[in-house]
Amino acid sequence: MPFTPARPDPSQPSVRINLLSDTQTKPTPAMRAAMAAAEVGDEQVGDDPTVNALCDRVAELLGKEAAVFMPSGTMCNVAGLLAHCRPGDEILAHRTAHILSREGGTHAALGGFQITGLDGADGKFTPDTLRTALHPRTRYEAAQTLVSVEQTANIGGGTIWAKADLDAVVAIARERGMATHMDGARLLNACVATGISAREMSAGWDSVWIDFSKGLGAPVGAVLAGTRDYIDAVWRWKQGLGGSMRQAGIIAAACIHALDHHVDRLADDHTHARTLARGLAQIAGIDVQEPETNLVFFDPAGAGITAADMVKALRVKGVTLATMDGRIRACTHLDVNAAMIEDTLGMVRDIVRGV
C-alpha cells in the first residue's frame, strides 16, 4: 500500500499536532537568521563557500574523502546508484527499501537497474540472507554490483541496523567485489540512539548520505559522501538530473546550523516516540511496534477501527498522521513536544471509546 497522508481539507480545523513526518519541521528563528546571514556564491562551479564548508564538514563527519550537496535524499540515492552501477546490473536491498518502494521506479527508468528485494524483519535483512541471495557470476544472470541498506529502516519502524550486521554486510560485499551504499536519511537518529558515531557507523561503506530536512529540521537538502573519484562521478549525474544549484549557501547554512544545534536534541524525539508508544499500548485493541528512534507504527484494528478511519478521525481533531502499509505511522520531530503527545493520546482514547 502506498504512503497515503491525510489530504488537507479546508472544511476541517487547521493542524495543531503534526505527526505526519519529520519532513514537516519548520526552520527555527535561529536557523532562519543563519540562512539570512549566509555567504553565498555559485554552487554549480564550486564558488559557494557555505556549501563547500557543509560538504567538507559532512565528509569529515562520515569519514569520507569528499561530499556533494543535493536538493533531496532521493537524488542522493538516484545519482549515487547511477554512479555505482551500469544498465543491467543487480542491486540487493531490503524489499521495503526506499530505493525500491518510494522512488517511483527511477532506478529502472534511468539506470536500467534490477533491484532485488530481500526479506527480513523490521526492514533489515540478515548477512545470511544476503549470502543466500548471491549467485555465481555468469553471463546468464545480472551482474550483482551493489548492496544497499537503509539506516534507520523507515517502513521497518525506524529500526536500527546493528553495527555488527553492517560490518558483516560490508565484508560479504567486498568478498564478491560489490560496492556498498547506505541510505542514511535518518542515520543520525541511529547514532544518537546507540551512541555510535556517524563515522564509525558508516565505516567501510563506499557511499553514505544524511538528510537535513527530516529530524535535523532544515527546510531542504541532503549530502552524499564517498571517495573523491566517486563524488566526481556523482556530480556528473547531479548536473544531468538538474540538481546543480546557484546561491545554495542560503540553504546550506540551515544544514550547518542543524549540525551545530539539532543533533543531540534528536534524543528528545526518541523520548516522545517511546511515550506515545507506551500510551497507545495501554489502549485495548491497539497493537504497537516498540520504537527504536522517532517513528511509531501502530494498528488500531483490534479496537474496532481501521487505520484509515483513525487517521481521518484524528485529522478532524487537528492531528495529522499517515497510513503506511496498512498501519498508522506517527513521526516525532523538532516541532512536537510532550504536551502534544499527551493530547494525541487523549484523542485516540476518545475515538476508541466512541467506537
Residue 132 counted as domain residue: yes
Same domain, yes or no, for 171 and 186?
yes
Q: Is the pLDDT of residue 2 over 50?
A: no
pLDDT-derived band at 354 (thresholds 50, 70, 90) equals very high
Residue 68 counted as domain residue: yes
Same domain, yes or no, for 19 and 67?
no
Identify the pLDDT of residue 8: 54
Per the listing, cell 514537516 goes with: 24
Residue 70's H or E segment, with its range, is strand 66-70
Indicate the residue among 261, 290, 317 that finishes a domain. 261
Identify the pLDDT of residue 3: 47
Question: Domain containing 287: what range?
Answer: 4-26+265-354
CB neighbour class for 140 (10 Å; exposed up to 12, middle 13-18, buried from 19): exposed
Residue 33 counted as domain residue: no
**pLDDT tens for each residue of 287-332:** 999 999 999 999 999 999 999 999 999 999 999 999 998 999 999 9
- If one counts the domains in the chain, the total is 2
pLDDT-derived band at 1 (thresholds 50, 70, 90) equals very low
Reported pTM: 0.95
Residue 31 counted as domain residue: no
Same domain, yes or no, for 75 and 201?
yes
DSSP assignment letter at 167: H
**pLDDT tens for each residue of 236-266:** 999 999 999 999 999 999 999 999 999 999 9
Same domain, yes or no, for 158 and 50?
yes
Same domain, yes or no, for 46 and 120?
yes
Least-confidence region, from 2-6, 7-11, 259-263, 305-309: 2-6
**pLDDT tens for each residue of 212-238:** 999 999 999 999 999 999 999 999 999
Mean pLDDT value of segment 12-40: 94
**pLDDT tens for each residue of 126-149:** 999 999 999 999 999 999 999 999
Identify the CATH number of the domain in which residue 346 sits.
3.90.1150.10
| Bond preceding residue 28 cis, omega within 30 of 0 | no
Please tell me whether residue 299 adopts helix, strand or coil conformation.
strand
Same domain, yes or no, for 194 and 206?
yes
Same domain, yes or no, for 187 and 293?
no
Identify the pLDDT of residue 293: 98
How far, in Å, CA of 165 to CA of 130, rounded? Answer: 11
Same domain, yes or no, for 272 and 247?
no
How far, in Å, CA of 136 to CA of 83, rounded? Answer: 24
Identify the pLDDT of residue 51: 98
Q: Is the pLDDT of residue 340 over 50?
A: yes
How far, in Å, CA of 273 to CA of 3, rounded? Answer: 20
The average confidence (pLDDT) of the chain is: 96
Angle 253-254-259 from CA coordinates, rounded to 5°: 95
Grid cell locating 320: 495529522
Same domain, yes or no, for 10 and 69?
no
pLDDT-derived band at 11 (thresholds 50, 70, 90) equals low
DSSP assignment letter at 159: B
Same domain, yes or no, for 170 and 290?
no
Indicate the residue among 239, 261, 283 that finishes a domain. 261
Please tell me whether residue 39 adopts helix, strand or coil conformation.
coil
Indicate the residue among 261, 290, 307 that finishes a domain. 261
Same domain, yes or no, for 325 and 253?
no
Grid cell locating 27: 526552520
Q: Is the pLDDT of residue 10 over 70?
A: no
Q: Is the pLDDT of residue 69 over 80?
A: yes
Same domain, yes or no, for 14 and 89?
no
Per the listing, cell 557511499 goes with: 207
Q: Is the pLDDT of residue 4 over 90?
A: no
Please tell me whether residue 235 adopts helix, strand or coil conformation.
helix
Residue 243 counted as domain residue: yes
Mean pLDDT value of segment 93-108: 96
Identify the CATH number of the domain in which residue 215 sits.
3.40.640.10
C-alpha distance from residue 177 to each of 108, 133, 147, 206, 325 (Å): 22, 15, 11, 12, 34
Residue 350 counted as domain residue: yes
Mean pLDDT value of segment 150-163: 98
Task: Report how far apart the first and last C-alpha atoms of the chain are (Å, whole number).
Answer: 25
Query: Hey, how many other C-beta atoms are within 10 angstroms of the C-beta on 38?
Result: 22
Percent of the chain at pLDDT exceeding 70:
96
> Torsions phi, psi of 159, nearest 5?
-80, 155
Could you write out the DSSP letters of every residue in 177-232? T-EEEEEETTHHHHHHHH---HHHHTTT-SEEEEESSSTT--SS-EEEEE-HHHHH
